Structure 1
Amino acid sequence: MREGSLEAPTRHPLDWQNPDFTDPEKLDAELRRVFDICHGCRRCFNLCDSFPRLFDLVDASPTGELDEVKSADFKPVVDACTLCDMCYMTKCPYVPPHEFNLDFPHLMLRYRMAERQAGTSGVGFAARQLTETDRNGKLAGIVAPIANWASKTDNTLTRPLLEKATGIDRAADLPKFHGRTFVSRAKGEVPAVNAEAPAFGRKAALYATCFVNYNNPDIGAAARAVLARNGVATEVVYPGCCGMPQLEQGDIARVADKARKVAAAMKPWIDQGHDIVALTPSCALMLKFEWPLILPGDADVRRLADATFDITEYVVDIARKEGIAPGMQALPGGVALHLACHARAQNMGAKGAEMLRLMPGAAVSVIERCSGHGGSWGVMKGNFETALKVGKPAARQAAKSGKQFLASECPLAGTHLKQGIERLEGDVPEIELVAHPILLMARAYGLA
């Protein structure tokens, strides 16, 4: 039998509509099979907190083996998984096509779906409401100044109340809301397309994503401006959230509904020759990889996956095929770029770094360690300090880089890393947080 595999990892569709998927006995048998292999390997000990929790359970058992670990004790292992996919994509030697057929993140997802069906997940009403990003974004946008004031970490009046009501740690930085969404901004701010650019003639529909739409429209504006400078005509489209927040809680049926809705809405744009460009890596991952595994027989979902690019991937594609438009100026000080886990999980290479290196004289240092944030997981009380611990090596690497800017393709990861840097011992250098590398490219073009 082989020890690991040298072949590229492949992923099987999620058989989530099969009753066996959530059958307690079959699920427990698969958990024990996988956990026993993980215990014997232990290559993922430093990726996230799931694996240390698993290995501690085994080591504390009377035999030092999995057979003496109670199934009821598996839950903390599952709860610590952030679905970052780094074990699957970068560490595990036993993923398909290896005969061991390990897919740790999707097994954790299976467990959460089973919990949800049984009503034992422990995910309360408040935690479920936090996943309603479209509703929350619209409501908070109406009262954005008040919402942003209430969410400030130094607000000793509201943050303890918010912690008690929602379970969000009072020390965790939270995204700000904008009263004017990216979609509404896009209607009145259409950048002029550079007809002299090598890529003139390309068309792209920008999938706004809930974060860019409600929390940071500047990312979308920068992407649109950079693409226009490179000759790409853009439209901004946002049928709804990709469902990543629901996926984290095991609500696969809800994700499938969102996938059908968004894929149907994007179909006319694909028919008209538009590329689909997602503005944050988690959403790109959903459109390109997770949705086709959840709905493998849906032609619209498959077509959307084939047409979708991450924004950094798309800019690099332009540079490789047509050439990048001139006019960028060097940005002094250099960039420490965190490669977001969900960008790495797209199996496209370090496109964020490749994009930044298109800028003249760009000094880019790459951070390939997890930030520890893990979507909504890292802001919750009980998880926040663990998230900072997981992200400490990346925060330390950013602080020691000597760069002026810190950027991440995942804006939440960037904010979390900045908090981690602020907690480092000793003299901590000043480093400017930039929400997304596309903002730096827009700045180099003089567009932001």
Structure 2
Amino acid sequence: MREGSLDAPIRHTIDWNDPDFYDEAKLDAELRRVFDICHGCRRCFNLCDSFPRLFDLIDAAPTEELDSVESKDFKPVVDACTLCDMCFLTKCPYVPPHEFNLDFPHLMLRYRAIEHKKGLRGGMEAQLTKTDRNGKLGTSLAGLANWATRRENGLTRGVMQSVAGVHKDAELPPFAGKTLLEMAKDMPKADPKGPAAGQKAVIYATCYGNYNTPEIGEAAMKILAKNGVDCEVVYPECCGMPQMEQGDISTVAGKAKNVAKALRPYIDKGYDVIALVPSCALMLKFEWPLIVPDDADVKALSEASHDVSEYIVALAKNKGLAEGMSPLDGPIAIHVACHARAQNMGQKGAELARLIPDTRIAAVERCSGHGGSWGIMKDNFEVGMKVGKPVFKQMQMKAKAKYVASECPLAGLHIAQGITANPDIPADGDNSGEAAKPELAAHPVVLLAKSYGLM
């Protein structure tokens, strides 16, 4: 039997419609099979908190083996998984086609799906996943909503922690006063003399890009227009990643079908599809085809989809970019987000930033500790800050950064908070002991647009 596999990883479809998927005895048997292999390997000890929790659980058991661990004690291991996919794609030697056939993230998803079916996942945390409802309300009352969610607002944040379980010290994303769909009406038209003139793309706004950081879509549209790409913005609904984190696979499947159906006419007309947030690009490209494998629209969308960084870097390589970029006024530190890495496309966020002339770029490829909505919760925030501390340190010390950005805007907020909250992370060579305060950009594409003078 081989130690690891030399073949490229493959993923099986998620059999969430099969009754056996929800059989708790069969789930327990599979958890024990997988956990025993992980216990004997331990390569993933430094990826997230799931694996230290698992290994500590086994080490503290009477026999120091999995056979003396009670199944009820598995839950903290499952709850620590953020579905980042890094164990599957970067560490585990036993993923399919290896005969051990491990897929740790999707096993954690199965556990949560059973919890969801039993009604054990809900309450206020489930309300936080309703991003379209929350986004529409938040943008319509942006001033009030942003006042209430500010970290400095001790009155409201204390209530949020008590009622919704959101940690009072976690930085929360602000709501925009104007959605990307509204802003898109005033975006410039494609330059007919641009190097990519005639190329067409439809931007899938994503819930975060539409309601919270429309500047990502604004930057992308202005860059693409300057380079001749004719763009439209479409936003049927959220991709369902928040529901997937809760194990609500049927809702994810419905969203996949709806969004794919809405985007299919553009694909048939030759448009490329661009997703603004890596988690959403991952869903379109890889997760949806595993959840609804027989849907032709989902398959077509998967094949036509691009992450925004990936798309612009490919444009630069294949067509060249329009002139007019200038150096920025300081170095940039780019965080390569886990869901960007999970797309297996390389460090496209860093490659995008390196298109900016005469500007020093440093890339940091490690988990920020945020994990979507996971990192803002009362039970997880301090763990997330601990997991992210190596990133906070590298982002500042490697780059002496004037600007920091992550392809994942939520991770960017977390990183900026982590840097400023840790006075023991000075810039490289700086012994002042004062916390660094770099400027946060919502995404590397915003810095490229800034270089063009478009923002």
Q: Same fold (TM over 0.5)?
A: yes
User: Map of 1:29-68 to 2, 5 A cutoff?
Assistant: 29-68=29-68
Distance in 2 of aligned mates of 1:360 and 1:398: 20
Question: Which whole-Å deviations, capped at 9, do the CAs of 1:326-346 have from their partners, x for residues lacking one?
Answer: 111111311110001000000
Aligned to 1:302: 299
Aligned to 2:90: 90
Distance in 2 of aligned mates of 1:397 and 1:357: 18
Distance in 2 of aligned mates of 1:28 and 1:349: 36
2:211 aligned with 1:214: yes
Check conservation: 2:420, 2:436, Cα contact below 8 A.
no
Distance in 2 of aligned mates of 1:283 and 1:386: 24
Check conservation: 2:187, 2:218, Cα contact below 8 A.
no
Which amino acid is 2:440 matched to? L
2:4 aligned with 1:4: yes
Shift of 1:31: 0.3
Aligned to 1:235: 232
Distance in 2 of aligned mates of 1:391 and 1:113: 28
Question: Which whole-Å deviations, capped at 9, do the CAs of 1:134-184 have from their partners, x for residues lacking one?
Answer: 011111112110110010111111110111111100000101112311101
Aligned to 1:313: 310
Question: Which whole-Å deviations, capped at 9, do the CAs of 1:394-434 have from their partners, x for residues lacking one?
Answer: 01101212121111000000110111112222332231111
**Equivalent of 1:412, from 410, 413, 427?**
410
Q: What do you get for the CA RMSD once the two structures are aligned?
A: 0.9
Aligned to 1:324: 321
Question: Which whole-Å deviations, capped at 9, do the CAs of 1:254-285 have from their partners, x for residues lacking one?
Answer: 00000000000000111111100000100000
The SS at the match of 2:64 is coil
Distance in 2 of aligned mates of 1:178 and 1:323: 33
2:427 aligned with 1:429: no
User: Map of 1:368-379 to 2, 5 A cutoff?
Assistant: 368-379=365-376
Aligned to 2:153: 155
Aligned to 1:389: 386
Shift of 1:322: 1.1
The SS at the match of 1:157 is helix
Distance in 2 of aligned mates of 1:362 and 1:256: 43
The SS at the match of 1:225 is helix
Question: Which whole-Å deviations, capped at 9, do the CAs of 1:74-109 have from their partners, x for residues lacking one?
Answer: 000000000001111111111111111110000000
Distance in 1 of aligned mates of 2:178 and 2:194: 30
Distance in 2 of aligned mates of 1:115 and 1:289: 24
Q: Under a length normalisation based on structure 1, what TM-score does the superposition of the two structures give?
A: 0.98
Distance in 2 of aligned mates of 1:320 and 1:293: 31
Aligned to 1:355: 352
Which amino acid is 2:124 matched to? A
Distance in 1 of aligned mates of 2:336 and 2:34: 28
Check conservation: 1:399, 1:428, Cα contact below 8 A.
no
Shift of 1:57: 0.5
**Structure 1 runs not aligned, ≥5 long:** none
**Equivalent of 1:256, from 234, 253, 275?**
253
Check conservation: 2:14, 2:291, Cα contact below 8 A.
yes
Shift of 1:356: 1.1
Check conservation: 1:182, 1:220, Cα contact below 8 A.
yes
Distance in 2 of aligned mates of 1:240 and 1:251: 16
Check conservation: 2:335, 2:406, Cα contact below 8 A.
yes
Aligned to 2:429: none
Which amino acid is 2:31 matched to? L
418-427 vs 50-59, greater mean Cα deviation: 418-427
2:72 aligned with 1:75: no
Distance in 2 of aligned mates of 1:397 and 1:294: 37
Question: Which whole-Å deviations, capped at 9, do the CAs of 1:20-61 have from their partners, x for residues lacking one?
Answer: 111011100100000000000001001100000000000001
Aligned to 2:276: 279
Which amino acid is 2:211 matched to? Y
Shift of 1:216: 1.1
The SS at the match of 1:62 is coil
The SS at the match of 1:158 is helix
Distance in 2 of aligned mates of 1:447 and 1:130: 34
**Structure 2 runs not aligned, ≥5 long:** 425-432
Aligned to 2:430: none
Aligned to 1:136: 134
The SS at the match of 2:154 is coil
Distance in 1 of aligned mates of 2:178 and 2:370: 27
The SS at the match of 2:46 is coil
Check conservation: 2:420, 2:437, Cα contact below 8 A.
no
Which amino acid is 1:347 matched to? N
Shift of 1:325: 1.5
Shift of 1:197: 1.7
Distance in 2 of aligned mates of 1:35 and 1:51: 9
Distance in 1 of aligned mates of 2:129 and 2:102: 28
**Equivalent of 1:291, from 264, 279, 288?**
288
Aligned to 1:107: 107
Check conservation: 1:220, 1:279, Cα contact below 8 A.
yes
Check conservation: 2:419, 2:437, Cα contact below 8 A.
no
Distance in 1 of aligned mates of 2:335 and 2:374: 19
Q: Under a length normalisation based on structure 2, what TM-score does the superposition of the two structures give?
A: 0.97
Which amino acid is 2:9 matched to? P
Poorly superposed stretches of 4+, deviation over 3 Å: none
2:445 aligned with 1:445: no
Distance in 1 of aligned mates of 2:15 and 2:383: 32
The SS at the match of 1:235 is strand
The SS at the match of 1:407 is strand
The SS at the match of 1:83 is coil
Which amino acid is 1:432 matched to? E
Aligned to 1:336: 333
Shift of 1:190: 2.5
Question: Which whole-Å deviations, capped at 9, do the CAs of 1:195-225 have from their partners, x for residues lacking one?
Answer: 2221111100000000011011111111100
The SS at the match of 2:155 is coil
Distance in 2 of aligned mates of 1:117 and 1:132: 18
Distance in 2 of aligned mates of 1:115 and 1:336: 39
The SS at the match of 2:221 is helix
Distance in 2 of aligned mates of 1:132 and 1:430: 33
